[in-house]
Structure 1
Amino acid sequence: MFFIFAALGVELFGKLECSEDHPCDGLGEHAHFKNFGMAFLTLFRIATGDNWNGIMKDALRDDCDSSERCETNCCVDPILAPCFFVIFVLISQFVLVNVVVAVLMKHLEESNKRDAETNDAQEGCAGVYGVDVSKDTDIEDGNIEKEISINTLEQELIEVEHRIEEEIRRRESVGCHVDAELQPLYGNTDTYREDDVDYDDNLSLGRVTKDITK
């Protein structure tokens, strides 16, 4: 598009003159259509909206040479100049706007795609480890849960110690009662104390283990 309009600009406006006798509002040393290169750069300037109406005004001047053999400061058809600049500005503006919108939409699509991949990965981790990643987690909440778990464990250990102490006292009371009953029969309890203690120890340890597992 720029190539076509640059060629047309050289053909239509290449002989416009900017001097003291014919001042210009938009055309000048760095913006003219005398050659293809400068015409191309001038079109880029017009595409950005930089004083394109001034350049069009210079193309519509009245103090120009309208002869067919004109060499400098030649006149341009008053219909061609507005059509040229208005059509180019509209097309270039729409093209640039579409490019910007396309770039923004592309980045938005990539961002949504990354978010979707991240959500899928989190859901996969939740399925593997059984963690609900949709819920917000807080460090303070985690510390509170740890404190609760430690306190619960300490209470359970205290309860186990109490059970063991009760079992030891019960075992001692049962052992004394058995010794008192068996002493008249054997006279001396040294002959059976080792076996009885082993039996009582095994029985008590079994009961303690059973209570702890509960």
Structure 2
Amino acid sequence: MKKYFIGGLGSNVYHSKDFLQELNSQIYFQNPYEKHLRDETELKSWFKNEIVEEESICLIGHSLGGDLARYLASEFQEVKKLILLDGGYLDLDKILPLDTELEETKNYIESQVVSDLDVLISKEKSEAKHWSENMEKAVRQSYHWNAEYNRYELAINYENIEAILSLRRKIQAFKREVGDALFISPCYSNEATWREEALKELPDYFDTIFLENFGHELYTEAPREVASLINEWLAYSQ
């Protein structure tokens, strides 16, 4: 069984390296955010090209990557196992309008300007629950130098992000029926009502694990612990 991982918005291969190295087999990193995927057909075509002729797939997705993974698992018979890391379960239309999400995302991207990457890395390192050489590389790959303005900016193509955020609303992954599925998510002491309601809608056939003292970025916060849970589930669900 070949395993693939789709990270969340803004993630790159280095964010997941520590986590993927703890899993018991080789994992292939997928980055749909480099593509301009406007509709379901383009999303499916991209995925089909990524997996080529695989017969059996385990698909892991975090956050927005979880939304894409749940949709793809429902469309491709090859996906036998689905693992969602705090993704693939929210009806965002109930939480905020698409226009608001796009505006907030654009404002965030434009606000992330840095004059010295080493200062940013030092700050992130001091605040991180887990840090490594890969995490430093993740930060460096997340930015590019703008010589005109003499600053670092997020290396994100907003047009691609706008397309994929709009596509997420169309595919409505939270409604999709899939096969063997594991859902791992933080458990907050003060749950937002919209999140409580969404979690109640998880299908009964999903295996669920809720982790205390974890945040949304659980696989970068505790790569070994989260990978261990996945390894156990995969061994149990053979």
TM norm structure 2: 0.20
Larger radius of gyration: 1
Which structure: greater strand fraction? 2
The normalised TM-score by structure 1 is 0.22
Return the structure number with greater helix share. 1
